[in-house]
């Protein structure tokens, strides 16, 4: 059983907190305790069956939550290159607990359906906020479902950096759900927001903007991917405890928005310079249900290793 993880939310309330026996305190939690004049090493300990969030006990990896490893190819690969990837992945036939999802450029979706059948689900890298209509250049959920897509990435950091707002992300999440797609909702902070200690505030705001108002039963259809925007494509990642801290925070926010059952069934992934070298450590973190993989997903051999680590 994984050791309980204590986050900043868990120790921010009034009174002296009692920590679960064997608990791991995240760096943010330690900082909060020190600011309150409390020494983490001297706090009382009590047995606890599972990690704790501000919303109450939550299983480290909820049994109902899907495990997914998502390949985001961004603007790479022609149709011929995509088919070569599918052939190589089929030869390797990776075995792991996670479902593979491949999100190629729109141009490769039709061609990849048959060779990926049984190996991976298809996903799109974006989806229109409109169901259809006079929206030149937009690709609607119904068009993607027709091509065999099950997932669509929404609110990726690169699109947010290009001007995509929380309001537009919210509209896209709802359009995807209406059209039969499961959105992969990306949330995460910039470098300046991280330096300013605003990571949890930013992530909370993004989650509320996208999920607030959805029926609790619908919320687990939304896969949440935490991707620190400062780590994308940089070859760097937060420390494992920092990642686990934010993943626990995400699940706590979902709990407050939609209830414990929805939070337990929602897949929370990590994305941000995931590679075959660090996948096992990241995917083994408490509460991590998979990964959103960028550059390392372009090579079938590396992607297969990440799948096997999951």
Q: Based on the structure, what is the number of domains in the chain? A: 2
Same domain flag for 72 and 200: yes
d(CA 144, CA 300): 24
pLDDT surpassing 60 at residue 11? yes
Sequence-separated contacts (24+) of 35-42 with Cβ below 8 Å: 36/11, 38/11
- Least Cα distance to 74 among 175, 178, 162 occurs for 162
Exactly one of 189, 227, 249, 276 is catalytic; name it.
Answer: 227
Residues 128, 258: one domain? yes
Q: Do residues 44 and 76 both lie within one domain?
A: no
* Euclidean distance between CA atoms 305 and 24, whole angstroms: 28
For this structure, is 249 an active site residue? Answer: no
pTM: 0.80
Beta-strand relationship, 68-72 and 182-187: unpaired
- Report yes or no on 56 lying in a domain: no
CATH of the domain at 208: 3.20.20.70
Environment class of 227 (CB within 10 Å of its CB; exposed 0-12, middle 13-18, buried 19+): buried
63 in any annotated domain: no
Whether 54 has a pLDDT exceeding 70, the answer reads no
Provide the mean pLDDT of the chain.
Answer: 87
Q: What integer pLDDT is reported at residue 95 of this predicted model?
A: 79
pLDDT digits (tens, 9 = 90+) for 65-111: 899 999 999 999 999 999 999 999 999 977 778 999 999 999 999 99
Are residues 140 and 282 both part of a single domain? yes
Residues 73 and 36 in one domain: no
pLDDT in tens, 253-284: 999 999 999 999 999 999 988 999 999 999 99
* CA 47-51-56 angle, 5° bins: 95
Structural domain contains residue 58: no
Residue 45's pLDDT is 63
Same domain, 92 and 45: no
pLDDT at 4 over 80: no
Same domain, 42 and 83: no
Q: Is 90 exceeded by the pLDDT of residue 299?
A: yes
**pLDDT tens-digit series, residues 104-159:** 999 999 999 999 998 999 999 999 999 999 999 999 999 999 999 999 999 999 99
Q: What is the pLDDT of residue 51?
A: 41
Q: Where are the alpha helices (DSSP H) in the chain?
A: 27-35, 79-92, 109-116, 141-146, 157-161, 166-179, 191-195, 199-211, 240-258, 260-265, 279-283, 300-309
Going by C-alpha positions, the residue among 107, 81, 55 that lies closest to residue 252 is 55
pLDDT at residue 19 greater than cutoff 70? yes
In terms of domains, do 104 and 217 share one? yes
Helix (H, G, I), strand (E, B) or coil at 103: strand
Containing domain of residue 24, as a range? 5-49
Query: How would residue 23 be classed by pLDDT, with cut points 50, 70 and 90?
Result: low
The catalytic position among 156, 189, 249, 276 is 156
60 falls within a domain: no
User: 258 lies in a domain?
Assistant: yes
- Residue 243 and residue 99 share a domain: yes
Q: Is residue 20 part of a domain?
A: yes
pLDDT in tens, 93-103: 777 789 999 99
CB crowding 94-104: b at 16 or more within 10 Å, else e: bebebbbbbbb
The yes-or-no answer on residue 227 being catalytic is yes
Residues 45 and 186 in one domain: no
Query: What pLDDT is recorded for position 233?
Result: 66
Same domain, 43 and 147: no
Q: Which residue has the higher pLDDT, 212 or 48?
A: 212
In this structure, the answer to whether residues 92 and 165 fall within a common structural domain is: yes
């Amino acid at each position: 059983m994984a050791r309980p993880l204590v986050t900043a939310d868990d120790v921010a309330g009034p009174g002296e907190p009692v920590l679960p026996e064997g608990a791991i305190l995240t760096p943010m939690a330690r900082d909060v305790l020190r600011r309150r004049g409390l020494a983490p090493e001297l706090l009382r300990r009590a047995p606890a069956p599972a990690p704790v969030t501000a919303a109450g006990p939550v299983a480290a990896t909820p049994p109902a939550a899907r495990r997914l490893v998502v390949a985001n190819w961004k603007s790479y690969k022609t149709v011929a290159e995509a088919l070569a990837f599918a052939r190589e992945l089929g030869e390797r036939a990776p075995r792991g607990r996670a479902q593979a999802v491949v999100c190629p450029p729109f141009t490769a979706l039709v061609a990849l359906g048959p060779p990926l059948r049984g190996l991976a689900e298809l996903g799109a890298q974006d989806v229109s906020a409109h169901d259809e209509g006079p929206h030149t250049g937009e690709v609607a959920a119904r068009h993607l479902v027709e091509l065999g897509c099950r997932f669509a990435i929404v609110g990726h950091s690169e699109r947010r950096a290009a001007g995509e707002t929380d309001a537009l992300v919210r509209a896209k999440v709802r359009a995807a759900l209406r059209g039969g797609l499961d959105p992969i909702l990306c949330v995460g902070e910039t470098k300046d927001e991280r330096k300013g200690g605003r990571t949890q505030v930013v992530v909370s705001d993004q989650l509320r903007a996208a999920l607030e108002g959805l029926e609790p039963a619908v919320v687990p259809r939304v896969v949440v991917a935490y991707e620190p925007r400062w780590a994308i494509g940089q070859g760097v990642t937060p420390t494992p405890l920092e990642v686990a801290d934010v993943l626990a925070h995400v699940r706590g926010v979902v709990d407050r928005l939609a209830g414990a059952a929805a939070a337990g069934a929602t897949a929370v992934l990590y994305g941000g310079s995931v590679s075959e070298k660090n996948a096992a450590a990241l995917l083994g973190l408490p509460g991590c249900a998979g990964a959103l993989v960028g550059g390392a997903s372009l090579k079938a051999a590396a992607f297969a290793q990440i799948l096997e680590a999951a």
